[in-house]
Amino acid sequence: MNYIKSLLLSSLIAVVLFGCGGTADILSTPVENIDNTPLKVSELTEAEKKHWGHLDLVSDTIPGMSLNKAYGEIIKGRKGVTTIVAVLDSGVDISHEDLDDVIWRNKDEIPSNGKDDDNNGYIDDVNGWNFLGDTTYEQLEFVRLLASGNTGDPRYAEAQAELDRKYNEALGRKTQYEQILQQVITSDEAIAKHLNKTEYTRDEVNAIKTENQTLLQHKSVIQQTYGFGIGSITETKKALKDGIEHFTEQLNYHFNKDFKGRKTGDDPDDFSQKVYGDNNVHPVGSHEHGTHVAGIVAAERNNGKGINGVANNVKIMPIRTVPNGDEYDKDVALAIRYAVDNGAKVMNLSFGKYYSPHSEWVRDAIAYAGEKDVLIVAGSGNEGFDLDKRNNFPNDAINNGPEVSNNYLAVGALEPKYGSGMVAGYSNYGKQNVDVFAPGSLIYSTVPVNDYKNLQGTSMASPAVAGIAALIRSQYPSLSAAQVKQIIMDSGLPVKTKVVVGGDASDIRPFDSLSSSGKMVNAYNALIMAAQLANK
């Protein structure tokens, strides 16, 4: 499924359940000293939380990408050439204060005249294309398989077992969240009444002295709630309500065999029907994830607002491909081809699933992008799986077979802490099928209506790497997509420490065994290597 909501609540789930029951020669630090970097013991400051992925391992003891160092010492005032980055996602708020000046504009299309001026088949595609039309919710792919009734499919029984397990799990979690929320609301009201104020502090709660056992129970609930680490009681209640909404959506749409979400009028199993959807790349209420991803890549730098994106001199091409549920293979394949045909040099795919009935359509599109010298950067997924043992889609190979092209880069996610806990517990990994790791947790970026928030997932790690790729292609346009991919892999920091894998404290492995490069990306080193290669 897409990673839009599955990761939003992972931290809350954990605390609620607990509380209630080839190497580059030039590096920013000598290779032999990397693993001697002191561990950061203090909490991230508020400023660090908003840009930790841009910081430097050596100077900040945070496993960032050395991006600030790259801008300060290498790029400086160099602008480079404008580079188009396609964001295949849920849509992008193109009027956001931190994105409005970096949105791609199709110069061959006259706005709002109802004509296909550039003859590409898509009418008025001024800023991109929406392959979903008015679709918001969708089933998961394995549920579509069950809904088809094709009992002869070799994965039918597997899909049925998965639905039974996940449906019951979502129903149980929803019930649990509802019970916890009601308990928090009741205790909050009791504490507020006792203190005679609607807003109170943790210290005021801790200072309550009483022999009233009921009040003591309410005090204990609120103290546990503070222990969730979410913030205020108001924020905790909102997070719980979001959790209830998340599991309700799963039950009503994702796991519902009778639900039909597609509203584009085409047959998703017929690849000959290629033109459908509309030009609305930012439908209201369904584009938070894509807006967040776009901001990571290229939010306007140094404009005094919000955040700085990774890459300067970039234009974001929004292509709406991912619903709340699983994307269709046809939409993904056509979106990749649309991006290629309209000039993208890098594209970001922050979505994925484990069933794919037409995966060959997508691999053909990936190969097409490779032929046209376009680099594809993708999130590896958020289930803590070893992708060398389980297929994740989209991908550029099947069952660890030969790759269709050398233009596909899969990214795992890092936490903002150097050491054994640096790999995000949710991140997929694989010595063969994941290429690099990058900052993915606690990532602050743009969301709709001129707002900003933290999200986490390989969905956030992928656009960080896409931004570095765009930066390289902007500064050194003579380098090919395959060369840029290799530079990003070879120039990373080769951390040799052992790390916790899949969030399982008993599963400890060398960091360099989790990806083909064995490294975490480093923008500073990548630009040095790119300059060396471009100047040869």
Tens place of pLDDT per residue across the chain (536 aa): 443 344 334 434 433 433 333 333 334 444 444 555 566 657 888 899 999 999 999 888 899 999 999 999 999 988 899 999 999 999 999 999 999 999 999 999 999 999 999 999 999 999 999 999 999 999 999 999 999 999 999 999 999 999 999 999 999 999 999 999 999 999 999 999 999 999 999 999 999 999 999 999 999 999 999 877 777 899 999 999 999 999 999 999 999 999 999 999 999 999 999 999 999 999 887 799 999 999 999 999 999 999 999 999 999 999 999 999 999 999 999 999 999 999 999 999 999 999 999 999 999 999 999 999 999 999 999 999 999 999 999 999 988 999 999 999 999 999 999 999 999 999 999 999 999 999 999 999 999 999 999 999 999 999 999 999 999 999 999 999 999 999 999 999 998 889 999 999 999 999 999 999 999 999 999 999 999 999 98
In a domain, residue 371? The reply is: yes
Query: What are the Cα distances from residue 22, in Å, to 376, 494, 511?
Result: 20, 10, 16
Based on the fold, state whether residues 199 and 247 are members of the same structural domain.
yes
**Rg of the chain over CA atoms, in angstroms?**
23
495 Cβ contact partners less than 8 Å away, ≥ 6 residues apart: 34, 35, 63, 422, 511, 512, 518, 519, 520
Can you give the pLDDT at residue 40? 64
Query: What are the Cα distances from residue 405, in Å, to 206, 284, 367, 395, 428?
Result: 60, 36, 5, 11, 22
Q: Could you give the angle at the alpha carbon of 52 between the alpha carbons of 46 and 58, nearest 5°?
A: 120
In a domain, residue 33? The reply is: no
The Cα–Cα gap between 533 and 96 comes to 37
Can you give the pLDDT at residue 398? 87
SS3 451: strand
In a domain, residue 462? The reply is: yes
Based on the fold, state whether residues 274 and 380 are members of the same structural domain.
yes
In a domain, residue 470? The reply is: yes
Can you give the pLDDT at residue 41? 58
Based on the fold, state whether residues 163 and 130 are members of the same structural domain.
no
* CB distance 183 to 196 below 8 Å: no
Name the DSSP letter for residue 65. Answer: -
* CB distance 498 to 508 below 8 Å: yes
**Which residue matches tokens 């997070």?**
239
- Over pLDDT 90: what percentage of the chain? 85
Domain that holds residue 205: 156-254
Q: Is the peptide bond before 30 cis (omega within 30 degrees of 0)?
A: no
**Which residue matches tokens 């606690």?**
442
Give me the phi and psi of 67, to 5 degrees please: -75, -45
Based on the fold, state whether residues 502 and 457 are members of the same structural domain.
yes
In a domain, residue 259? The reply is: no
Question: Amino acid identity of 177?
Answer: Y
Based on the fold, state whether residues 286 and 414 are members of the same structural domain.
yes
Residue-averaged pLDDT of the chain = 92
Both tokens of 416, joined, read 């903002």
Based on the fold, state whether residues 491 and 384 are members of the same structural domain.
yes
Could you tell me how far CA 143 lies from the centroid of its own chain?
A: 23
SS3 string of 409-426?
EEEEEECCCCCCCCECCC
In a domain, residue 499? The reply is: yes
Based on the fold, state whether residues 237 and 358 are members of the same structural domain.
no
Based on the fold, state whether residues 114 and 163 are members of the same structural domain.
no
The Cα–Cα gap between 321 and 2 comes to 10
Q: How many CB atoms neighbour CB 505 within 10 A?
A: 11
Based on the fold, state whether residues 240 and 171 are members of the same structural domain.
yes
Domain end position, chosen among 219, 254, 289: 254
Based on the fold, state whether residues 334 and 473 are members of the same structural domain.
yes
CATH code for the domain in which residue 366 is found = 3.40.50.200
Based on the fold, state whether residues 403 and 489 are members of the same structural domain.
yes
In a domain, residue 36? The reply is: no
Total number of domains constituting the chain: 2
Domain end position, chosen among 220, 254, 288: 254
The Cα–Cα gap between 221 and 227 comes to 10
Query: What are the Cα distances from residue 334, in Å, to 67, 380, 393?
Result: 33, 21, 15
In a domain, residue 298? The reply is: yes
Beta strands 314-320 and 83-89 are parallel
Domain end position, chosen among 254, 288, 303: 254
Based on the fold, state whether residues 133 and 247 are members of the same structural domain.
no
SS3 269: coil
